[in-house]
C-alpha cells in the first residue's frame, strides 16, 4: 500500500482509504482469496493423507468444548465458513481430490454477477 500511495502521490494525511487507493490505481486486492485457496488446498492434502498426525489432530481438536466468552477462531471454523459445509461433509468432500479442487476454486473465485 505504501508503494501504491507513493506512485499516486497520496499522503497518509489525506485520509484516503486503502480501498480508494486501490481503486484509483486500478489494482485488485486478491490476498485474502490467495490465502483461502492455499489453506483449503493444504487442508484437503492433510485430510487425504493416511495415518498423519495432523489429520488426527484436526479431527480431535474439533470436538473439544470451548470456554465461556467469545470463542476464539479456530482453523476448522475457517474451513467450514469458506466451504459453507459442516465438518463431516468437508471430510467426505476431501476424499475425492478433483471434487475438492473444484470446491476450493468455487470458494476462492467469486463470480461476477454483472456479466
Residue with cell 477462531: 73
Mean pLDDT by 10 residues, the chain (115 residues): 88 87 78 83 85 66 66 79 86 88 84 46
CA distance linking residue 38 with residue 15, whole number of Å: 33
pTM of the model: 0.59
Amino acid at each position: 500500500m505504501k508503494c501504491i500511495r507513493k506512485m499516486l502521490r497520496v499522503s497518509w494525511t489525506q485520509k484516503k482509504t486503502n480501498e480508494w487507493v486501490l481503486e484509483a490505481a486500478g489494482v485488485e486486492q486478491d490476498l485474502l482469496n490467495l490465502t483461502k485457496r492455499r489453506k483449503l488446498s493444504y487442508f484437503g492434502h492433510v485430510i487425504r493423507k493416511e495415518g498423519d498426525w495432523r489429520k488426527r489432530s484436526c479431527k480431535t481438536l474439533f470436538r473439544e468444548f470451548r470456554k465461556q466468552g467469545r470463542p476464539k477462531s479456530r482453523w476448522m471454523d475457517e474451513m467450514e465458513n469458506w466451504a459453507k459445509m459442516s465438518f463431516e461433509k468437508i471430510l467426505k468432500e476431501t476424499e475425492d481430490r478433483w471434487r475438492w479442487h473444484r470446491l476450493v476454486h468455487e470458494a476462492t473465485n467469486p463470480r461476477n454477477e454483472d456479466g
